Amino acid sequence: MPMNSNDKNYSNLVDKYVTGKILVTRSSMPAYEEYCEEIKDIWDTRWLTNMGPKHKKLQEELTKYLGVEKIDLLTNGHMALELTMQALGLTGEVITTPFTFASTTHAIVRNGLTPVFCDIDPENFTIDTAKIEALITDKTSAIVPVHVYGNICNIEEIQRLADKYGLKVIYDAAHTFGETYKGKGVGSFGDVSCFSFHATKVFNTIEGGAVCFKDQSFGDKMYDLKNFGIHGPEIVESVGANAKMNEFSAAMGICNLRHVDAEIEKRRKVTERYHERLDGVEGVRLNKVSPDVKPNYAYLPAIFDEEKFGCGRDEVFRVLSEHNIGARKYFYPLTNSFDCFAGRFDPNDTPVALKISRSVLTLPLYADLMTEQVDRICDLIISCKK
Ligand SMILES: *Cc1c(COP(=O)(O)O)cnc(C)c1O
């Protein structure tokens, strides 16, 4: 961006980026030439999918980058969750939270399991560990907590309860790519941690996902589930699905991984600008990062306290939309109030999650969001205050 405002390109750029439409996110992509270079050998080998060289390379690189023991790559984050529950042979009830993306709850229900919804912590939006124990019954087989917006769950307490009651722990780590907790890769906790590499996440393979684990017997089951249970040209040992990451997605991941640290650094600067502008505005609360976490600045959730701010979340959302700014009510509605579950669950059982889902707005955040754009968004938000 030219710094000289007399430059005739400058006003064009301001029109395009500052007063124009702003979406809640913008996918990270490598330079076009870089991607073309990376996929060149796919034309030589004609190896498009089925655990080819790109898949293998990305798998190795991610093992190192994420600081995990073992990883397997899949078509998307949802299949990572759904097949993990199947591979672990979960039964009966699973304790989870409703303050998440549809995927977490759907993965449980699609496995024929019953989600038992625990409320969330009002400060970091992850499962309230003080409320888990009361929900454990003799049917409970696992806890499926979600690291929300990059905030890490109370890992020690969850593991303590899981050990005490013999439960599996599967983390939905879709929001926490590249984060560490007390210096350890966040994917190394629980029995399995599931990542999403969807286009809208901090790191993407267009569509994609991964499971991180330590136990190779789980890895073997997962591999069967992602590849039809095929063990050889004439040997099919189990009834698997198909959830393999293809070579073009893996190539996108190889390219994006080269730039992800720089992207996270840019996200940090954008996040800081939001804090400069909105911290101290009465009735607005931005997310706080714990000192135990190396953050990835995946999302910018703002909680609006209608009484103190004088105006509620829905009104702020409306004003931003009118000005072509795409904030997102994320997560809203709670998964336990989805139409597809009508009559099955009661969102009033999780009152904190219910309240947060009605007062949160996730603001635009991506690496190339300009300071001028953040300022425009913040000016509009502040203008809503009464
Ligand atoms: C994105 C996301 C998923 C699903 O991942 P996909 O790759 O889109 O299938 C699951 N859980 C959470 C919390 C997510 O944000």
The predicted-structure confidence for 209-262, as pLDDT tens digits, reads as follows 999 999 999 999 999 999 999 999 999 999 999 999 999 999 999 999 999 999
Q: How confident is the model at residue 7 (pLDDT cuts 50, 70, 90)?
A: low
146: helix, coil or strand?
strand
Q: Which tokens is 336 given?
A: 């336990």
Q: From atom 10 of ligand 1, which residue's Cα is the shortest distance away?
A: 103
DSSP character at residue 70: E
The structure tokens 């336990």 sit at 336
Q: Which atom of ligand 1 is nearest to the CA of 198?
A: 7
Rounded CA separation 174/153 (Å):
13
CA of 103 to the centre of ligand 1 (A): 6
> Mutation test of ligand 1: which of 75, 79, 96, 101 has the most ligand atoms closer than 8 Å to its C-beta?
101
Q: Which tokens is 296 given?
A: 């990835």
Q: Which residue type, as a one-letter code, is found at position 249?
A: S
Alpha helices in the chain (DSSP H): 8-13, 32-45, 53-66, 77-87, 102-110, 155-165, 216-226, 247-278, 306-309, 313-322, 351-359, 371-384
Ligand 1 contacts (CB < 6 A) are: 76-78, 100-101, 103-104, 146, 172, 174-175, 196, 198, 209
Q: Check residue 2 and give its pLDDT.
A: 46
CA of 279 to the centre of ligand 1 (A): 29
pLDDT cut 90: percent of the chain above it: 95
CA of 336 to the centre of ligand 1 (A): 17
| pLDDT per residue as tens digits for the range 120-130 | 999 999 999 99
∠ CA(358), CA(361), CA(367), 5° rounding?
160
Question: What number is the average pLDDT over the span 132-160?
Answer: 98
Question: What number is the average pLDDT over the span 368-386?
Answer: 96
Rounded CA separation 108/104 (Å):
7
Q: What is the chain's mean pLDDT, rounded?
A: 95
Name which of 153, 200, 209 is nearest 298 in CA terms: 200
Q: Is the pLDDT of residue 332 over 80?
A: yes
What residues contact residue 245 under an 8 Å CB cut-off, 6+ apart?
49, 55, 58, 73, 74, 75, 205, 208, 209
Q: Which tokens is 57 given?
A: 């390379």
Q: From atom 6 of ligand 1, which residue's Cα is the shortest distance away?
A: 77
Report CA 116 to chain centroid distance, whole Å. 21
DSSP character at residue 139: T
Domain limits, the chain: 5-26+260-384, 32-254
Rounded CA separation 258/266 (Å):
14
Question: What number is the average pLDDT over the span 4-14?
Answer: 61
Pair type for strands 300-304 and 168-172: unpaired
Q: Which atom of ligand 1 is nearest to the CA of 148?
A: 13
Do residues 96 and 260 make contact, with C-beta atoms less than 8 angstroms apart? no
CA of 149 to the centre of ligand 1 (A): 12
Rounded CA separation 195/62 (Å):
11
CA dihedral sign, ordered 179, 181, 185, 191: negative
CA of 384 to the centre of ligand 1 (A): 32
Pair type for strands 293-294 and 180-181: antiparallel
Q: Check residue 5 and give its pLDDT.
A: 54
CA of 311 to the centre of ligand 1 (A): 31
Rounded CA separation 312/335 (Å):
22
Rounded CA separation 1/118 (Å):
47
Q: Which atom of ligand 1 is nearest to the CA of 197?
A: 7
| pLDDT per residue as tens digits for the range 17-61 | 656 899 999 999 999 999 999 999 999 999 999 999 999 999 999
Pair type for strands 93-96 and 114-117: parallel
Pair type for strands 360-363 and 300-304: antiparallel
Q: Which atom of ligand 1 is nearest to the CA of 200?
A: 1
Q: Does domain 5-26+260-384 have CATH number 1.10.10.10?
A: no
Q: Which residue type, as a one-letter code, is found at position 373?
A: Q
Q: From atom 7 of ligand 1, which residue's Cα is the shortest distance away?
A: 77
Q: Which atom of ligand 1 is nearest to the CA of 100?
A: 13
Q: Which atom of ligand 1 is nearest to the CA of 201?
A: 1
Specify the fold of 32-254.
Aspartate Aminotransferase; domain 2 (3.40.640)
∠ CA(248), CA(211), CA(48), 5° rounding?
20
C-alpha distances in angstroms, 256 versus 29, 43, 70, 199?
6, 20, 20, 11
DSSP character at residue 68: -
Q: From atom 5 of ligand 1, which residue's Cα is the shortest distance away?
A: 77
CA of 150 to the centre of ligand 1 (A): 13
| pLDDT per residue as tens digits for the range 259-309 | 999 999 999 999 999 999 999 999 999 999 999 999 999 999 999 999 999
CA of 379 to the centre of ligand 1 (A): 31
CA of 58 to the centre of ligand 1 (A): 20
248: helix, coil or strand?
helix
Question: What number is the average pLDDT over the span 100-110?
Answer: 98
Rounded CA separation 36/244 (Å):
22
CA of 191 to the centre of ligand 1 (A): 19
Q: Which atom of ligand 1 is nearest to the CA of 103?
A: 10
Q: Write the burial class of residue 99 (CB in 10 Å: 0-12 exposed, 13-18 middle, 19+ buried).
A: buried
Q: Which atom of ligand 1 is nearest to the CA of 80?
A: 9
CA of 41 to the centre of ligand 1 (A): 30
Q: Which tokens is 350 given?
A: 């999780």
Q: Is the pLDDT of residue 1 over 50?
A: no
Q: Which tokens is 358 given?
A: 């009605």
